[in-house]
């Protein structure tokens, strides 16, 4: 089945399931509640999330990005520094605190504001260019019925530098997010690229002023959500743009071209404007620094605008062609000013954020990784009777020392029950220890059982995939 995605974070069926479970009252005990908008996975799905985190982390570290982590809370004045809407912030206070006893705190709603505050606070202890990744939950006080998560993971990378940041960094961030999605493997992805300078140049050439250009960018950013007519309406009503110009803006946004041929395909479309020329040249430079395998995924899409004010050049989104209604799963771009609200330094940067929880929710709800491990255990050591438990423990220790995860069954009921347990957890092998100390292994997928003369050699054969 296909979900109907809201223009937001979660899906209708998932929300319906949340609602149905919102108040599970157990027989005679306290109420147990699932809180709408705060996702919680089953163990096998958390294991899968950790595997995906591991793949993305390995990609980021392979390019030398280093982890940072900030507290979940910031001062409210820090969170408000970029003029964000207060009502989306969750405030934090001690249950019985004096109102004036401590500074007002709030849960961070993204990782960009905490990153900027972190860089300002630790400025003299960081090496520039500073290449960091950051995986943390963020919290947004959206109304739950709008179909959005209120707590979710974001997985960000950014490169920032002092004064100047070359375009090779834009290319590196795109190469890296492409590599990360390639590593996850289960989902086809495509990368949409644009450059704000092209949009700004085109809008300026139409005679729009600064404020109108900002409004136009915000309107065009919604084209896949509110449609062509919705954008035209916003352009006319919010940005006070003439109908004919609005039509030109929407028509301009329909153009796409593979990054490989963007220079040839788009040159004729662009007005003779220095900003447009610069934007196109930047796209071409970025393309020249990307590897061939990545270029296969990247398309210049003039409808890509990104709503946020602070982007100044490259803008990018990662989409899933098999789930067009899902929207972007990662987005970012180039900005000229990370932290001037906190520190008197020019810090241009380029970065991307992966919406990990949204991605996980899609993978889980569509069952895109059906063969993923359901628990970390590779070998269940069966226990025939309690007298042999120490022997079973010793066998499990040898298996672990050989690099294979093993668990010893906690009791010693009939073997059928132990096999059922292994099957329910999808543990692939059961080890039996005979009274004389010999080992046999049962492969639960093939049902074959065979003697094992050396536990260590057998573990090696497992990891070698024999």
Could you please report the per-residue DSSP string of 36-77?
TT-----HHHHHHHHHHHHHHHHHHHHTT-EE----SEEEHH
**Among positions 2, 94, 414, 447, the unique one binding its own copies when judged by CB under 8 A:** 94
Q: Are 320 and 208 in contact (CB under 8 A)?
A: no
User: From CA 357, how far away is CA 148, in angstroms rounded?
Assistant: 11
Q: Which of 12, 16, 19, 35 binds its own copies (CB under 8 A)?
A: 35
User: DSSP string of 287-305?
Assistant: HHHS-HHHHTTEEEETT--
Dihedrals φ, ψ of 102, to 5°?
Answer: -145, 165
Rounded Cα distance between 117 and 126, Å, is: 13
**Interactions with its own copies, residue window 45-64 (CB under 8 A):** 46-47, 49-50, 61-64
Nearer to its own copies, 328 or 377 (CB): 377
Q: How far apart are CA 131 and CA 169, in angstroms?
A: 10
Judged by CB, which is closer to its own copies: 68, or 219?
68
Q: In the complex, what is the shortest distance from the CB of residue 37 to its own copies, in angstroms, rounded to a whole number?
A: 9
Return the residue of 1, 2, 4, 95 that touches its own copies, per CB under 8 A.
95
Position among 166, 183, 256, 366 found at the interface with its own copies (CB under 8 A):
166
Using a 10 angstrom Cβ sphere, with 0-12 exposed, 13-18 middle and 19 or more buried, the burial of residue 124 is: exposed
Return the closest-CA partner of residue 257 out of 195, 321, 319, 192: 192
Complex with its own copies: residue 21 or 228, whichever CB lies closer? 21
Looking at 1, 27, 446, 466, which residue binds its own copies (CB under 8 A)? 27
Q: Which of residues 193-212 bind its own copies (CB under 8 A)?
A: none
Residue appearing with tokens 């109907």: 4
* Cα gap 25→359, rounded to integer Å: 31
Task: Scan residues 391-420 and list those touching its own copies (CB under 8 A).
Answer: 393-394, 397, 400, 405-408, 410-411
- Count Cβ atoms within 10 A of the Cβ of residue 321 and give its class: 0-12 exposed, 13-18 middle, 19 or more buried: exposed
Q: Please report how close the Cβ of residue 115 comes to its own copies at its closest, in angstroms.
A: 12
Find the part of the chain contacting its own copies (CB under 8 A) among 71-79, 207-215, 219-227, 298-306: 71-79
Q: How far is the CB of 4 from its own copies (least distance, A)?
A: 25
17 touches its own copies (CB under 8 A)? no
Beta carbons within 10 angstroms of residue 33's beta carbon: 11
Site for its own copies in 211-270 (CB under 8 A): none
Q: Which of 5, 18, 115, 118 binds its own copies (CB under 8 A)?
A: 118
The footprint of its own copies on residues 325-384 (CB under 8 A) is 340-344, 375-377, 380
Select the span of 80-88, 218-226, 241-249, 447-455 touching its own copies (CB under 8 A). 80-88
Using CA atoms, how far apart are residues 84 and 235, in angstroms rounded to an integer? 23
Residue with tokens 């100044």: 312
Say how far apart CA 400 and CA 382 lie, in whole Å.
15
Q: Which is nearer to its own copies, 1 or 29 (CB)?
A: 29
* Cβ density class 366-395: b for 16+ within 10 Å, e for less: bebbeebbbbebbbbbbbbeeebbebbeeb
**In the chain, what is the straight-line distance between the N-terminal and C-terminal CA atoms, in Å?**
37
- Which span sits near its own copies by CB under 8 A: 234-242, 250-258, 389-397, 430-438? 389-397
Question: Which of 258, 336, 425, 462 is close enough to bind its own copies by CB under 8 A?
Answer: 425
Q: What mask of x and - would describe binding to its own copies in positions 295 to 334, judged by CB under 8 A?
A: ----------------------------------------
Q: How far is the CB of 158 from its own copies (least distance, A)?
A: 13
Q: Is 145 in the site for its own copies (CB under 8 A)?
A: no
| Of 244, 215, 228, 236, nearest in space to 305 by CA | 215
Write down the least CB distance from residue 246 to its own copies, Å.
Answer: 34
The only residue of 5, 10, 56, 74 in contact with its own copies, by rule CB under 8 A: 74
Using a 10 angstrom Cβ sphere, with 0-12 exposed, 13-18 middle and 19 or more buried, the burial of residue 51 is middle
Q: Please identify, using beta-carbon distances, which residue of 184 and 198 lies nearer to its own copies.
A: 184
Q: Which of 55, 92, 226, 368 is close enough to bind its own copies by CB under 8 A?
A: 92
- Choosing from 7, 13, 20, 69, the residue that interacts with its own copies (CB under 8 A) is 69
- Which of 16, 40, 185, 210 binds its own copies (CB under 8 A)? It is 40
| 6, 8, 55, 72: which one binds its own copies (CB under 8 A) | 72
Which of 17, 20, 33, 185 is in the footprint of its own copies by CB under 8 A?
33
Residues 178, 409: Cα–Cα separation, whole Å = 42
């Amino acid at each position: 089945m296909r979900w109907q995605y809201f223009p937001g974070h979660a899906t209708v069926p998932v929300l319906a399931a949340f609602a149905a479970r919102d108040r599970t009252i157990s027989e005679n005990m306290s109420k147990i509640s699932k809180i709408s908008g705060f996702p919680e996975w089953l163990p096998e799905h958390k294991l899968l999330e950790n595997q995906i985190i591991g793949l993305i982390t390995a990609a980021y570290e392979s390019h030398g990005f280093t982890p940072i982590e900030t507290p979940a809370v910031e001062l409210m004045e820090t969170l408000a520094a970029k003029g964000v809407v207060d009502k989306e912030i969750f405030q934090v206070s001690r249950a019985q605190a004096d109102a004036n006893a401590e500074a007002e705190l709030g849960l961070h709603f993204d990782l960009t504001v905490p990153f900027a505050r972190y860089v300002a606070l630790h400025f003299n202890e960081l090496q520039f260019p500073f290449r960091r990744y950051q995986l943390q939950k963020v919290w947004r006080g959206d109304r739950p019925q709008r179909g959005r998560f209120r707590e979710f993971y974001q997985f960000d990378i950014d490169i920032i530098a002092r004064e100047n940041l070359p375009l090779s960094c834009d290319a590196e961030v795109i190469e890296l997010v492409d590599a990360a999605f390639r590593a996850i493997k289960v989902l086809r992805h495509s990368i949409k690229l644009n450059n704000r300078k092209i949009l700004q140049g085109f809008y300026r050439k139409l005679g729009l002023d600064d404020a109108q250009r900002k409004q136009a960018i915000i309107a065009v950013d919604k084209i896949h959500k509110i449609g062509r007519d919705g954008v035209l309406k916003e352009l006319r009503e919010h940005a006070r743009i003439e109908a004919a110009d609005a039509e030109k803006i929407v028509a301009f946004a329909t153009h796409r071209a593979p990054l490989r041929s963007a220079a040839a395909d788009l040159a004729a479309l662009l007005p003779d404007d220095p900003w447009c020329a610069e934007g196109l040249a930047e796209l071409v430079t970025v393309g020249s620094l990307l590897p061939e395998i990545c270029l296969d995924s990247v398309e210049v899409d003039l409808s890509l605008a990104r709503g946020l004010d602070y982007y100044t050049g490259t803008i990018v989104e990662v989409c899933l062609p098999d789930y067009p209604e899902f929207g972007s799963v990662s987005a970012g771009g180039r900005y000229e000013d990370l932290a001037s609200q906190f520190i008197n330094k020019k810090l241009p940067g380029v970065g991307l954020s992966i919406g990990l929880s949204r991605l996980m929710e899609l993978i889980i709800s569509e069952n895109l990784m059906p063969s993923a491990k359901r628990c970390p255990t590779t070998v269940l050591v069966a226990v025939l009777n309690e007298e042999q438990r120490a022997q079973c423990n010793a066998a499990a220790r040898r298996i672990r020392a050989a690099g294979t995860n093993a668990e010893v069954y906690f009791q010693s009921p009939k073997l059928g029950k132990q096999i059922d347990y292994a099957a329910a957890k999808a543990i692939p092998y059961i080890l039996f220890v005979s009274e004389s100390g010999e080992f046999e292994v049962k492969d639960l997928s093939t049902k074959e059982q065979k003697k094992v003369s050396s536990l260590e050699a057998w573990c090696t054969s497992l990891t070698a995939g024999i």
